[in-house]
Amino acid sequence: MKRLFLALATCVAGLVPLQLQAAGDGHLNMGVVLEPPHLDPTAGAAAAIDEVVYANVFEGLTRIDRNGEVKPGLASSWNVSDDGKTYRFTLREGVTFHDGTTMDSADVLFSIERAIATDSVNAQKALFEPIESVAAEGAGTVVVTLKRPTGHFLFNLGWGDAIVVGEESADGNKANPVGTGPFTFKRWVKGDRVELQRNDAYWGEPAKLATATFRFIPDPAAAVSAMMAGDVDAFANFPAPENMVQFEADPRFKVVIGSTEGETILSTNNGRPPFDDIRVRQAIAHAIDRKAIIDGAMFGYGTPIGSHFAPHHPAYVDLTNRYPLDLEKAKSLMAEAGHADGFKATIKLPPPSYARRGGEIIASQLREIGIELEIIPVEWAQWLEQAFRGKDFDLTIVSHTEPMDIGIYARESYYFDYQSEAFNGFMEKLASEVDEKARYAVMADAQKQLSEDAVNGFLFQLAKHGVWNAKVKGLWENSPVQANDLTEVSWEK
């Protein structure tokens, strides 16, 4: 047996030099957690699609940069009419798709019309809802007319769902994406990786990397060893926060904790007793210890929030002390609501560790005030079907990762079933208000309203646990949109 072990040891030892060659110049192995179902951002909601192709393979009229600002994309410039309803985009010249066809106003028209069509399978159709009509003025200009002024329209056009596709290649984009970006698609080994290579015919500054590979590693333990072994050079968002300390201590790696747009909340079914009683929701708010949740579930990474708003946004109001941790207060609120002896409820937990771990901790915290939670782990498919579409849940934990999504609280029959005239009023005001200062004031009011109503348990803003080889430069530190923009990435010489 001993001899056998030695033999095994010697043959695995041969692996080491092999792993080093992967980190060659001009090539990046990027680790991502989820494999996209396909590679067409205009036909699916999966963030995993954007994480591979956004800004690398596909581009839109505008683009969102690393700071979340709107920058010119395929449109080199634009002007907006005084009533805020007409947008005139000037397209870049000499842009070609990866299949060699020219990108012009016909393709832009085709892309937008395809997205707003009745049989469109675009997952963010709502983004295009304000559009009344699109028209081309020659090959180089596109005019978009809106039904009403829309504050975020240019930002919305920067989403992955709004990229410009080629009329000739659009149907094949799921398996063979053809865009205008700095990288072309090479191949996709299902269940393992997508390979990209530099587009030498790119219209702008060429990419510094010759090739890039996205490796799909959903298992946190496998992710750790892939990083350690150098199989992967970078993880923009590492799946296991518990291992960040170890990477920080290792000079080979650079750890960057950035921000995301993910408000992680204890979604509460406001339409279902006893959670329709504001006192019960307030009691829960008083019983939740955010610090324990952030420490226990996220190993300290995450910013506490008191409402549904990102702390790095200029209009953010700190409401984390509206319901301080106070078990006595919580118990008396429970008693007031007629639940002095507590009650039983369920909590449905989707797969990410923030939900599974956070759910266990919350269950133990709410037990203190007499709420016995039955934990029901669910797959995303079940979560979508039962909790999200069917509203069949009491509590659930989920991170809302779309940017500036406070508007979901005004949606009719959204899954947490919150109805507030006051809040809807703020949203209407926001839609028509164009002055930045006034907009921020309305946003503050809206945040306070949600906090006051204790709509959901507001837990923390999801952090972005970036870890990469210390020699890799140019990766995004934050994620204003779900993307791994490799345009500016390079290896330090």
Q: How far is the CB of 374 from another protein (least distance, A)?
A: 9
Residue 104 or 263: the one with the smaller Cβ distance to another protein is 263
Using CB under 8 A as the binding rule, whether residue 38 contacts another protein is answered as yes
Q: How far is the CB of 19 from another protein (least distance, A)?
A: 8
- Residue 98 token pair: 């990866």
Using CB under 8 A as the binding rule, whether residue 229 contacts another protein is answered as yes
Q: Return the CA Rg of the chain.
A: 24
Using CB under 8 A as the binding rule, whether residue 119 contacts another protein is answered as yes
Among 375, 422, 438, 470, binds another protein (CB under 8 A): 375
Among 17, 94, 118, 328, binds another protein (CB under 8 A): 118
Among 94, 138, 191, 251, binds another protein (CB under 8 A): 191
- Residue 106 token pair: 């016909």
Using CB under 8 A as the binding rule, whether residue 224 contacts another protein is answered as yes
Among 3, 15, 328, 341, binds another protein (CB under 8 A): 15
Using CB under 8 A as the binding rule, whether residue 20 contacts another protein is answered as no
Using CB under 8 A as the binding rule, whether residue 215 contacts another protein is answered as yes
How far is 397 from 264, CA to CA, in rounded Å? 7
Among 6, 7, 19, 102, binds another protein (CB under 8 A): 19
Q: What are phi and psi of 306, to 5 degrees?
A: -115, 0
Element of type H or E holding 425: helix 421-432
**Choices 39-47, 56-64, 145-153, 204-212 (CB under 8 A): range interacting with another protein:** 39-47
Q: How far is the CB of 464 from another protein (least distance, A)?
A: 18
Among 246, 332, 346, 490, binds another protein (CB under 8 A): 246
**Per CB under 8 A, which of residues 43..82 are in contact with another protein?**
44-46
Provide the residue type at 350 as one letter.
P
Residue 89 or 409: the one with the smaller Cβ distance to another protein is 409
Counting other chains too, the contacts that 419-428 makes at CB distance below 8 Å and 24 or more residues apart are 419/270, 420/449, 420/453, 422/449, 423/449, 423/450, 423/453
Sheet holding 86-91, edge to edge: 75-80, 86-91, 141-146, 131-137
Extended beta strands in 45-173, E state: 62-64, 70-72, 75-80, 86-91, 131-137, 141-146
Residue 193 or 339: the one with the smaller Cβ distance to another protein is 193
Q: How far is the CB of 94 from another protein (least distance, A)?
A: 32
Among 72, 140, 296, 311, binds another protein (CB under 8 A): 296
How far is 261 from 463, CA to CA, in rounded Å? 9
Residue 293 or 475: the one with the smaller Cβ distance to another protein is 293
Contact in structure between 363 and 376 (CB atoms under 8 Å) = no
**Choices 141-149, 203-211, 222-230, 436-444 (CB under 8 A): range interacting with another protein:** 222-230
Residue 137 or 219: the one with the smaller Cβ distance to another protein is 219
Q: How far is the CB of 224 from another protein (least distance, A)?
A: 6
Using CB under 8 A as the binding rule, whether residue 381 contacts another protein is answered as yes
**Choices 73-81, 199-207, 363-371, 438-446 (CB under 8 A): range interacting with another protein:** 363-371
Using CB under 8 A as the binding rule, whether residue 249 contacts another protein is answered as no
Using CB under 8 A as the binding rule, whether residue 12 contacts another protein is answered as yes
**Per CB under 8 A, which of residues 129..158 are in contact with another protein?**
none
DSSP sequence for 396-412 = EEEEE-STT-GGGGGST
Residues pairing with 88 in the sheet:
79, 143
Eight-class DSSP state of 239 = S
Among 221, 422, 438, 470, binds another protein (CB under 8 A): 221
- Residue 463 token pair: 């952090």
Element of type H or E holding 327: helix 327-336
- Residue 329 token pair: 């207060």
How far is 111 from 109, CA to CA, in rounded Å? 5
Number of residues interacting with another protein: please give it, by CB under 8 A.
79
Helix (H, G, I), strand (E, B) or coil at 431: helix
**Per CB under 8 A, which of residues 392..411 are in contact with another protein?**
402
Among 106, 201, 240, 444, binds another protein (CB under 8 A): 240
Residue 276 or 385: the one with the smaller Cβ distance to another protein is 385
Helix (H, G, I), strand (E, B) or coil at 28: strand
Element of type H or E holding 437: helix 436-452
- Residue 393 token pair: 């849940």
Cα-based angle 12, 14, 18 (whole degrees, multiple of 5): 115
